[in-house]
Structure 1
Amino acid sequence: MTTITPQFAQFDAEALYQVLEAKVKAALAQADNVAVIGIYSGGAWIAERLVAALNLNPAERLGFIDVSFYRDDFSEKGLRADIKPTQIPFDVDDATILLVDDVLYTGRTTRAAINELFDYGRPKKIMLAALIDRGERDLPVAADFIADAVSLQPGQSLQLQRADDGSFTLIIQSNA
């Protein structure tokens, strides 16, 4: 686990993505009926790249999910202005689903995504990939694939950003 101190403001997100991609490709090489669903927004960006790396047809095997209405803390957080529609263009039943998020933290987003996913059908298997695992879970959720685990200072969060060329940057933000 990497401990982040305030003087470091940025990760090599591209190197982290390469680590995650290699783990996912190795594990899913023999899987059948694979589909990838990215959690908006950072997970959706990573999912787009993973679908290409897995040589899957994005029109048929890539979906996106917005968990806003499925979160158990919806009444506390309220409705975000940037809600996007969930798009799952494939049959979820009996599929091996790779659910992708950028940062795994409390587990609440993952729980909400799984709840929403089951509204679309019953997958054969759901696997979770995250670029970064922050730990400190509120729920018993674990990723199958992570690039790195980090510990942040209180009041800090991570934000994945995507440039126009598709490259990633991961920055630490102070929430104070």
Structure 2
Amino acid sequence: MVTGTLNVDILLDKMASELSTLLTHRQIDNPLVIGIRTGGIWIAERLHNALELDSPIGTLDISFYRDDFSQIGLNPKVQASQLPCPTEGRDIILVDDVIMSGRTIRAAMNELFDYGRPASVTLVTLLDLQRRELPIQADVYGGTLTLGPNQQIKLTGPEPLSLDIRQKD
């Protein structure tokens, strides 16, 4: 459990190191980094720069793929997903800021596979809140955090990136 102040830069350094080792071990030399809007894009950009990758970054907006779409309605800030190249046969690094239930990642993978069948998907998240509803787990994460029942966490950015724990309204 991460307690006290959460230093995003320290978590990102740890993640970049672990991800570099993992990519070397898996013999992946030219992955396509894709961030899930919004916080995942900020994290993806930082990791992309730290790993000194050449390929451009992709973005996913999973609003239409959410399983609660009919209950909560459409996000008023929906934007188009942008993948800079085909995903078919590519090694993908899928990045989000926080993994909790696994539902956001499920939606992102559904959208991702609509674009083609990747060779592999490596999941990277800044924080793991360990409240799974689906059997999805990050390959690389910066830290874990346990929130109280009336707390939520919010990544703000992009400059500077910071994590704020807030009380729910």
TM-score, structure 1 normalization: 0.89
Question: Partner residue of 1:48?
Answer: 45
Alignment of 1:1-176 (within 5 A): 1-2=1-2, 10-29=5-24, 30-57=27-54, 60-163=55-158, 166-176=159-169
Please identify, of 96-105 and 30-39, the stretch whose mean Cα deviation from structure 2 is larger: 30-39
Measure, in 2, the Cα distance between the counterparts of 1:155 and 1:21. 31
**Aligned pair count?**
167
Between the two proteins, what is the percent identity of the paired residues?
A: 42
Q: Tell me by how many angstroms 1:44 deviates.
A: 0.3
Structure 2: segments with no counterpart, 5+ residues:
none
C-alpha contact 1:25 1:53 (8 A) present in aligned 2: no
Measure, in 2, the Cα distance between the counterparts of 1:32 and 1:13. 26
Structure 1: segments with no counterpart, 5+ residues:
none
Moved >6 Å (runs of 4+) = none
Root mean square deviation, CA, Å: 1.4
Q: Which has the higher contact order (CA 8 A, sep 6+)?
A: 1
